[in-house]
Structure 1
Amino acid sequence: MEFKIKRGDLTGQKTPCLILGVFEKHKLSEPAEAIDKASGGHLSDILRKGDMDGETGRTLMLYGIPGVSCERVLLIGCGKRKEFNRRSYRKALAAAVTLLNDTRITTALCTLPEVIPAGMTRYRTVRDAVTTCADSVYHYDRTKQEKKSPRFPLKRLDLWVAEKQDTQTAQEAVRHGGAIARGVALAKDLSNLPGNICTPAYLADKAIDLGKDYPELRVEILEEKDLEALGMGALLSVSRGSRQPAKLILMEYRGGAQDAKPVVLVGKGLTFDAGGISIKPASDMDEMKFDMCGGASVFGAMLGALELALPLNLVGVVPASENLPDGDANKPGDIVTSLSGQTIEILNTDAEGRLILCDALTYCERFEPDVVIDMATLTGACAVALGKHPSGLFTQNEQLAAEILTAGEAAGDRAWRLPLWDDYQEELDSNFADMANIGNSRWGGAITAACFLARYTKQYPWAHLDIAGIAWRSGKKKGATGRPVSLLTELILKRSGQLK
């Protein structure tokens, strides 16, 4: 979808559909008041008849409004004016765009970004309009014979701003929002593909394609023979149970100073996880194709940085594998040696994400990173603790914790910090190896998983995002969310000086 900024007299705007906000108790937004005045109170008359009460997300399409140039007016409910916040703003936007996308209207003009919710700015309302609307019209049909995309999809949404001095800010927000939206869509596309298509080799090919599209991106794929030569015994132990060879996908973008230390993003790329010998229950196992959402989010964030040509150095690292039961697969009680030289007793083969991540995190030392952030659908325990709303954040670096939490709040892609105390480390004690791959009890599973990773990240500032609760939706709307691409892109926008 294309987005453009429009300004000028709202009553004279020639558009197939003008979107206006309405609050509860028949209160009109300021743009709606202007249209109401030009129409001789036509909107107020309709609202008084009770056709719409302003409840968030409720819609009412009007035709033949006197005194204005638009063909139609779409009234969208925004809830109570005093309670109008980011959540209700996004809900209103999504409802409006979903309705338009299901009709024959291919172009519309939206005034909702002019109705700024509490705690937001002009930049944020415009950027949220772009990302929310793009998310609302996202449609997956790659593996469907009958394509059910709208016959007349919404192709362009113009965003209206009242004041000339806001135009530059709004245009910058559209540019940033568009790059984030495309990054999110890429992450969704990769994550939604089934495991028989999106294999480790497929992810590697996608990285190579990205490098062809953006020559400033250097891509390197380490094959199993390379991983064996390096000594990545933990990663290779996971792929032994699969016919699909493991890959370590490396993407380097050098947009900053030559001597500037890079930001390194590491994403778990488990393209399918059956649990190995410690096999998962059959129910909902199909959703384990989403176990590579961390890796997909690295692709999405890299795309955003490339499209915006951000002035920073960024490295993406995606360890990719499958985890399946096989005669050569890891067995409970096996001991493997990681790239760091530390040995690991595998008590549960379904705790494989940390095995592929630990070798990737050790490999990151050679980049001499300014910071390393990994993201992984690592533990169901994190989803139990936090539900489906925030990512779980783990780090011992106070400054980095504040930076990530702030970025999440700003992007509307929130994280919540959980403890990473040494008290939990003893849970990983093993009689036979330097550590076990799971805790000795069922308590604090997300924390002990993060503690495991922390043992491989002592050479640089590091944070871990457990995205098991937020990476995909189940049920009727099953599919990837593309999170935390927005959080990551917000963070690198700030680090590159593009946001104050």
Structure 2
Amino acid sequence: MPVTREVRARSIALVKLEGAEAGDLQLAAARAVRAHGGGGTLAWALDETLPIATYRQVSAVVEGAVLGGYDPGRWKSSAPRPGVDRFVVCGADQDEERLRGLAKHAELTARWTNVARELVDGPPNFVTPAGLAERAASLPGVSVEVIDPAAAGLRALAAVGGASAQAPKLIVLRYEPAGAPERPLLAFVGKAVTFDAGGYFLKAQSDIVRQKGDMAGGAAVLGALGAIAELELPLTVIGVIPACENMVGADAIRPTDVVTTAAGLTVEVTNPDAEGRLILADALWYARRKGATHVIDLATLTGAMRAGMGDLYGGVFSNDKSWSDAVVAAGNAVGDLAWAWPLHPRYRRLLESRVADLRNTSGRPYGYPITAAAFLEHFAGEGPWAHVDMLGPALLDDDRGDALGAGASGYGVRMLVEITSRMAAALRRGAHEAARQAGARSMQSFNRKQESDDD
């Protein structure tokens, strides 16, 4: 709507709020950015009448504005529509420095979420294993190593990618800030099948057209490492991304082939379209070999997860309840919604094989996400591990009515950044408490010395 001269703005946008939650503000900001276009500045006035704390309003509208400004059309031949040049939040009269820090954190995390979205939306003839490695190499503050799986003994990853003209790769990212403690060492493992034809279990037409998104876990790990490095969080974090294509060809895995994993366990491949767990097996082993104390893997692993949970939640499986609770809480706090699933030891019997140490699928028409997680648990090693099956929310067929719209969501980036931020904060609190206790002990020692001298 046009305005008079009393207001220094060309127009005012009235944006409907669907409710009075932070997510509703995030959606409203995204809608405002999409509607604005044409460059220039968009100013957002905070509303003190809303039952939402000012700091939550700031985080929500900044994140919504950045997510709403994402444009998936970079592959179009026409020039992209100009977006908003500046997004300004107005009306924060108190604690401005803290609010500025929150706005920066929200902008940064949303921006790296958009990096993951761009990778998942990208066509598979561009976002190949080599293309993903090239994008990883451009991350500031992160060292990157690209490993040939065959040469490194990662035989499951090499076998899955063996039928493709695009060579498989293990992409290892490492963020190691100065002064970071040796422990904990976080490892994020992301499945990156840059195109999944299903191998000899060729996917149906309705499903195969979505398979460029089968690398969303790897994209999330890449985006999270970029954000963590830019935030300069004081923890060592490694990202392990097994990247390949799962194609049909003379060198493709045949049903009932036996593959030896990097961990030494042999796997009877009863389903070549259950390839994600094979490449994750090698990647999880590699992460533990590099000293990881806490591990999270993210994967678009089972269609049954999407069938059961829809496009909103990822399912979390873990060998450690405290770690599972921490991952779920971190995801839910930032919008990467997650729900804990069971992982009872008895599910392992469904993966027993007569000819190998285990098989990659149960062959039963039930429990698909759980038996997939049970398979991965064989390779998770000692220490806390969580598996996030994110097939539902990774690539959205429909607009869910939030700031993301249809297409790639960048699921997992915000979750991983949040869990790292929480662990870093816990370490800082522990260091402060240890220093306080040490100071108290020193003062007690000093007082005793003084009393002794007085005697």
TM range (shorter): 0.7 to 0.9
Question: 1: CA distance between counterparts of 2:120 and 2:283?
Answer: 20
Deviations 1:36-59 (A, max 9, x none): xxxxxxxxxxxxxxxxxxxxxxxx
Change (3 A) 1:202 1:164: same
Deviation, structure 1 residue 475: 5.5
Deviations 1:447-476 (A, max 9, x none): 110110011113121001111001111268
Partner of 2:31: 95
Partner of 1:248: 170
Question: 2: CA distance between counterparts of 1:416 and 1:354?
Answer: 20
2:72 partner letter: Y
2:86 to 141, 151, 156: 156
Partner of 1:412: 335
Change (3 A) 1:337 1:475: same
Change (3 A) 1:285 1:115: farther
Structure 1 residue 124 and structure 2 residue 51: aligned?
no
The normalised TM-score by structure 1 is: 0.80
Structure 1 residue 172 and structure 2 residue 101: aligned?
yes
List aligned pairs for 1:45-56, cutoff 5 A.
none
2:163 partner letter: G
| SS of residue in 1 equivalent to 2:381 | coil
| SS of residue in 1 equivalent to 2:280 | helix
| SS of residue in 1 equivalent to 2:328 | helix
1:497 to 413, 421, 425: 425
Q: What's the Cα RMSD here?
A: 2.0
Partner of 1:110: 44
2:109 partner letter: I
| SS of residue in 2 equivalent to 1:470 | helix
1:190 partner letter: L
Deviation, structure 1 residue 423: 2.3
Partner of 1:30: none
The question of whether the paired residues in 2 share the 8 Å contact of 1:365 and 1:460 is answered with no
2:252 to 298, 314, 329: 329
2:94 partner letter: K
The question of whether the paired residues in 2 share the 8 Å contact of 1:247 and 1:320 is answered with yes
- Number of matched residues? 422
Deviation, structure 1 residue 62: 4.2
| SS of residue in 1 equivalent to 2:241 | strand
| SS of residue in 2 equivalent to 1:264 | strand
Partner of 2:441: none
| SS of residue in 2 equivalent to 1:496 | helix
The question of whether the paired residues in 2 share the 8 Å contact of 1:266 and 1:361 is answered with yes
1:481 to 409, 431, 434: 409
Question: 1: CA distance between counterparts of 2:33 and 2:225?
Answer: 27
Question: 2: CA distance between counterparts of 1:274 and 1:126?
Answer: 43
2:144 partner letter: V
The sequence identity of aligned pairs, in percent, is 35
| SS of residue in 1 equivalent to 2:198 | coil
Deviation, structure 1 residue 126: 1.4
The normalised TM-score by structure 2 is: 0.88
1:188 to 89, 110, 117: 117
Deviations 1:53-98 (A, max 9, x none): xxxxxxxx2422x75444432222224xxx5123322222222222
Deviation, structure 1 residue 399: 1.1
Deviations 1:325-369 (A, max 9, x none): 111110111111111111111011000000000011011112222
2:193 partner letter: L
Question: 1: CA distance between counterparts of 2:398 and 2:333?
Answer: 29
Partner of 1:74: 13
Structure 1 residue 393 and structure 2 residue 322: aligned?
no
| SS of residue in 2 equivalent to 1:75 | coil
Partner of 1:448: 371
Structure 1 residue 199 and structure 2 residue 124: aligned?
no
Deviation, structure 1 residue 272: 0.4
Deviation, structure 1 residue 125: 2.3
The question of whether the paired residues in 1 share the 8 Å contact of 2:67 and 2:111 is answered with no
Question: 2: CA distance between counterparts of 1:286 and 1:115?
Answer: 46
Question: 2: CA distance between counterparts of 1:485 and 1:496?
Answer: 17
Structure 1 residue 319 and structure 2 residue 249: aligned?
no
Deviation, structure 1 residue 220: 0.9
Change (3 A) 1:100 1:252: same
Deviation, structure 1 residue 373: 0.3
Greater shift in the superposed pair: 455-464 or 473-482? 473-482
1:63 partner letter: V
Structure 1 residue 430 and structure 2 residue 358: aligned?
no
Partner of 2:450: none
